[in-house]
Structure 1
């Protein structure tokens, strides 16, 4: 925590919607003391000139598979969750959903229990849990282990409903091939954030599942039925359905910048496209490879791949994703910052703490360099 009084000025303030010039903010022992136009906020305590950098809310990442050299499924425990959260905090993420890739029922139960414990213990950054599988489509499995993919049973559903009662947010990625509409409706009614992904389902089926309660799509374009001229697939359904939000891996590897630009323009609202890192064990580390269920994942040239070249998560942080969206896709910086903060926070049903919030603490904010190449935390 910041001790004493600190005033920040000379930068741009992102309030969750707008980038504001000519504003300053000061903190006393980490709690917001003053905020407003430069003329209304005198220099108090230590004065830090931002030099045009951006001060705004921390990132919200709903798809974090690992970090600090470890995957969530390697050792589902409060310690593992703490390590992953700390690694991503250094990358600017203040709220995340640790994500379990398709695994055994035993590992899934252990992960749910560990996350419930982490939330009870107040581990910073842990906003719930994302279960990406095992109820997916083998045809669109990506790097998921086909041997572990299976239909959702009544027992599975009962366990998920119980987990939802104990967690602030439970996100579950499913495919219509292995989950019924009735199961989706039951999850949605219990407050579970149901997301469609890793599926080959057609457009009409996807729209039916959205009507049943699915409100999200996992990593748009990747591991799903594509937008065709006669069959729009899940991509088309995600863009057409206004209530649905869509995660996006904006590394210019998983999705071409022109496809991102087209999707952004086509997306019906109020649901929005938001950024995810899909980060793996290498996040926040210098590791060049790691194992995923006895399979080696290689880190080269900003990509993570299996030996056969299949993409296996992303070597990405959200600051880099923002830079790709601005410099390669050509989108406005304000909108892109919102895609890393405001939009995903809506899915968590948790208010985003911004500099404009009187209860804002320095630890809620991050500093992004003006060239979008570095991020630092305020603590």
Structure 2
């Protein structure tokens, strides 16, 4: 490819996933990053996009828990068109790739969701696979999931939950509700596994981790709480250097003081997740969730009885909240939003960093407000940018 065919994105600050570099540029060929260079090294006549003064360029955000967006709920529209609408809605908030998330539903709906993901992935690199949140969850920690749809796993579910070709399958389950060996079977089938909606004891959690479970879905929410004589899954997550735990940093799901404490004590890898519902990137103030009306007010999605039902959160806001509510450096928040989730999904050699050989998934933003200026997915800018 000729020098003229390369594209160069120059910024006052480029965060490569580990360090911030001043006055640098990312060089792209096709869908991949060729190099990270100093601004003064840009060849004469190069095809250069100069980002506005003060704007940062960083790896695109990766959201592993997205129930919906753009007024679309994945459970209602487990189709390529539904996924495309969700991708568009979240991209404006810096999310360049995600896992459409199906909460507890029927086998037929689960099959449709996986098929839709497999169909759209070749055309939509922002779709990384599918997240099945349930149905193998605790009746004591349902959250907004329907009790009549939760169930015990059967042998055929291993093949059903296996990853789509070329993609990721993340399964959130309550390990105490699964038969012996089920967690290890899913791990052997290539699934990424996370504990969630669970009353597992500390011992049960540790056993599931030995069998291949490395993740924790929205830590603190919908799981056995931390207690002095039964530390449960929260302690197991925080004390493990190999654990990855999703955090909903919206100031509603978990008090910021608890999150600050967890980040100081935890040895593992925090990941920002939105648990986003249809209003994110949409306009609806209420929506239906499997027959129940969900109301959106004051930044919360709740049922009529006040139960939280997902979130009205986007990834740009989650990054901003890390800085404002959790007193984190911006660089650390960016790692939570991209590098850590990429590593959890097994994609850390392809996504989550701005270095040579990685896919050119990038987001540009104002570092003070985290207002998104531009995004690129596999080297392509969104239609309304640049």
On the 8 A contact 1:25/1:41 being kept in 2, the answer is no
1:126 CA drift (Å): 0.7
Q: Which runs of 5+ in 1 are unaligned?
A: none
Alignment of 1:352-367 (within 5 A): 352=351, 354-357=353-356, 361=360, 364-367=361-364
Distance 1:132 1:150 in 2: 13
Distance 1:23 1:342 in 2: 20
1:49 CA drift (Å): 4.2
Give the structure 2 partner of residue 297 of structure 1.
294
Q: 1:205 to 1:53 in 2, by over 3 A?
A: same
Distance 2:28 2:192 in 1: 35
Give the structure 2 partner of residue 93 of structure 1.
95
On the 8 A contact 1:89/1:125 being kept in 2, the answer is no
Alignment of 1:150-229 (within 5 A): 150-160=151-161, 163-164=162-163, 166-229=165-228
Q: Secondary structure at the match of 1:12?
A: strand
On the 8 A contact 2:183/2:213 being kept in 1, the answer is yes
Q: 1:292 to 1:122 in 2, by over 3 A?
A: same
Distance 1:112 1:154 in 2: 18
1:76 CA drift (Å): 1.5
On the 8 A contact 2:33/2:355 being kept in 1, the answer is no
Render the CA deviation track for 1:15-58: whole Å, top value 9, x for unaligned. 01111123234568887676422332257455524321110111
Q: Secondary structure at the match of 2:355?
A: coil
Q: 1:126 to 1:29 in 2, by over 3 A?
A: closer
Distance 1:88 1:179 in 2: 33
1:366 CA drift (Å): 1.1
Out of 339, 344, 355, the residue aligned to residue 336 of structure 2 is 339
Q: Which moved more, 1:327-336 or 1:217-226?
A: 327-336
* Number of residues of Structure 1 aligned to a counterpart in Structure 2: 370
Tell me if 1:107 matches 2:105: no
Render the CA deviation track for 1:320-365: whole Å, top value 9, x for unaligned. 111111111111211110110000001222221643325654xx21
Give the structure 1 partner of residue 119 of structure 2.
117
Q: 1:6 to 1:138 in 2, by over 3 A?
A: same
Give the structure 2 partner of residue 249 of structure 1.
248
| Higher share of residues assigned helix | 1
Distance 1:185 1:80 in 2: 32
Distance 1:51 1:288 in 2: 36
Distance 1:18 1:172 in 2: 32
Distance 1:149 1:30 in 2: 41
Give the structure 2 partner of residue 72 of structure 1.
74
On the 8 A contact 2:338/2:352 being kept in 1, the answer is no
Q: 1:262 to 1:108 in 2, by over 3 A?
A: same
On the 8 A contact 1:181/1:209 being kept in 2, the answer is no
Give the structure 1 partner of residue 143 of structure 2.
142
TM-score, length-scaled by structure 2? 0.90
Render the CA deviation track for 1:282-341: whole Å, top value 9, x for unaligned. 121111111001111111111111111100001111111111111111112111101100
Give the structure 1 partner of residue 384 of structure 2.
none
Q: Secondary structure at the match of 2:175?
A: coil
Q: Secondary structure at the match of 1:246?
A: strand
Q: 1:175 to 1:322 in 2, by over 3 A?
A: same
Distance 1:124 1:354 in 2: 16
1:7 CA drift (Å): 5.2
Render the CA deviation track for 1:69-113: whole Å, top value 9, x for unaligned. 111110221111111112112221111111000011211121122
Q: Which moved more, 1:185-194 or 1:7-16?
A: 7-16
Distance 2:179 2:290 in 1: 28
Q: Which moved more, 1:323-332 or 1:6-15?
A: 6-15
Q: Secondary structure at the match of 2:136?
A: coil
Give the structure 1 partner of residue 284 of structure 2.
287
On the 8 A contact 1:280/1:314 being kept in 2, the answer is yes
